[in-house]
Chain A
Amino acid sequence: MLTVNRYKCCYCGACVGVCPTCALELVETWLEVSAECKECGLCAKICPVGALEVRA
């Protein structure tokens, strides 16, 4: 499962731009993850602050 650490997220949208399945949506300061996520981890890799993590 992809987890968002909302205390870390700086709502920049970089993760949204790289997600191959359009699973992420930034609603102002709130990052939503949809069921389309296939846990590829690309978004976690790009996140400048490390707010995303794919957990088993």
Chain B
Amino acid sequence: MKCDLVVVGGGPGGSMAAKTAAAAGLDVVMLEKRQEIGDPVRCAEGVSKRSLCKMVKLEPEWISSEVKGARLYAPDGKSIVMSEDKSGGEVGYVLERKVFDRGLAMLAAQAGARIMVKTRALSLLKKDGSICGVSAMRIGEPLQIEAPLVIGADGVESKVGRWAGIDTTLKLDDIESCAQFLVQDASIDDDYTEFFLGNSIAPSGYAWSFPKGEKLANIGLGMQGSRSKPGEAVRLLRQFMKSRFPNGRVVEMVVGGDPCSGPIDSAIADGVMLVGDAAHQTDPLTGGGILNAMQAGAIAGEVAAKAISEGDVSRKGLQEYETRWRADIGKTIARSFQLKEFFVKLTDKDINQLIGSLAKEDISKMDLGAMLRILFRLNPKLLWSLKSLII
């Protein structure tokens, strides 16, 4: 079998890459090793409404609920509210990813991409040292797909990069170990995403409640991998549930790893581009990676079409992808990484001080940048090392 482009992985990154490249005229094959795209979910499903709407035309069934803002809890229980509905814009959606991921794959199919499920990439095909396709296993049978270009959108467990000589192995400092329950509970706030900070709740991470409507929510936590031990994320989540949602009924369980390494040195090699979690493009501070994967996928799809039509799929021919994703999502990822590196070191006392200092401020209409500036003004000593990032 032959085509112009093989996309490995049918998550949001892969589907956007396949959709964009197919719409630009390429013959695209997208491989997904699971038999059902989008299932099982490894995600809390929160996204910014504004950014998502810019990228695709939304289908109502993709969205579980719309929230008015976010509430942040300090370890001592004090809370602040950010981005109320009055501020417009930065409200969020909580998606239904099983439906959303499949919907994006459908868009890729509609644009002309061929989608193969239960088809796992096993290695890259090489001829005279250059990549010339993917060797795969399709429903238990071997399959070779010849193509000059491969996009690795194979998520946190990515191997495409490693096969092409890009070391994407995640160090334990650079991955969050996560656990989440889908919970029914009368005490769930249907209108706000909630974030719970504290080293005894989630060491160098946070716990969350992302409401899905009618008193149902994704309640989970992520902790820094280097502070984890076997089974720790699930144990801490059970402990958190007991103290915060003691009457919660668990109807689904999710676990996963979320990269938080900041931008990788290179997301391209001869004949290969990496997008999404495969390129560690998650926001290291929030862990959010859906929109970044989609944005990177769209850029990679455009560059793929150009590179194929110009007949140059070498590193040099793909450099535009590298330059564009770094100028786009890369800047925020780099900044969030520096902020994360600072915040993971804070003690509970520091976090209480920071959140407490905002008690008298009206931050309801602020974005993260504006809030950080106020925090800096109120806590110059604690935040001094972040000066260049904030001001």
Contacts and interface: CB of A to CB of B under 8 A. Distances in A.
Pairs A-B, 8 closest by C-beta atoms: A50-B231, A14-B257, A13-B157, A16-B157, A48-B233, A50-B230, A48-B255, A12-B256
A46 B34 CA distance: 23
A13 B35 CA distance: 16
B175 A17 contact: yes
B230 A28 contact: no
A42 B179 CA distance: 18
A19 interface: yes
A26 B32 CA distance: 13
B177 A13 contact: no
Contact of B257 (A13, A22, A52, A53): A13
Contacts of B255: 10, 12, 14, 48-49
Nearest to B178: A48
Given A13-B256, A18-B257, A42 B231 contact: no
A18 B171 contact: yes
Interface string A1-32: 00000000011111111111010101110000
Contacts, number: 95
Label chain B's interface by main secondary structure.
mixed
Interface of B: 33-35, 40, 42, 118, 120, 155-159, 162, 168-172, 175, 177-179, 225, 228-234, 253-257, 259
A12 B257 contact: yes
A37 interface: no
Contacts of A46: 172, 175, 177, 225, 228, 257
B175 A19 contact: no
A33 interface: no
7 contacts: A10-B255, A14-B257, A17-B157, A28-B33, A45-B228, A48-B228, A48-B231
B253 A28 contact: no
Given A14-B156, A17-B158, A42 B35 contact: no
A44 B288 CA distance: 24
A42 B256 contact: no
Nearest to A26: B157
Interface string A31-43: 0000000000010
Contacts of A17: 156-158, 168-170, 175, 257, 259
A9 B158 CA distance: 19
Nearest to B159: A22
Given A18-B170, A48-B256, A13 B234 contact: no
A20 B230 contact: no
A53 B157 CA distance: 19
Given A48-B178, A49-B233, 9 more contacts: A17-B157, A45-B225, A46-B228, A48-B232, A48-B233, A48-B234, A49-B179, A49-B234, A52-B230
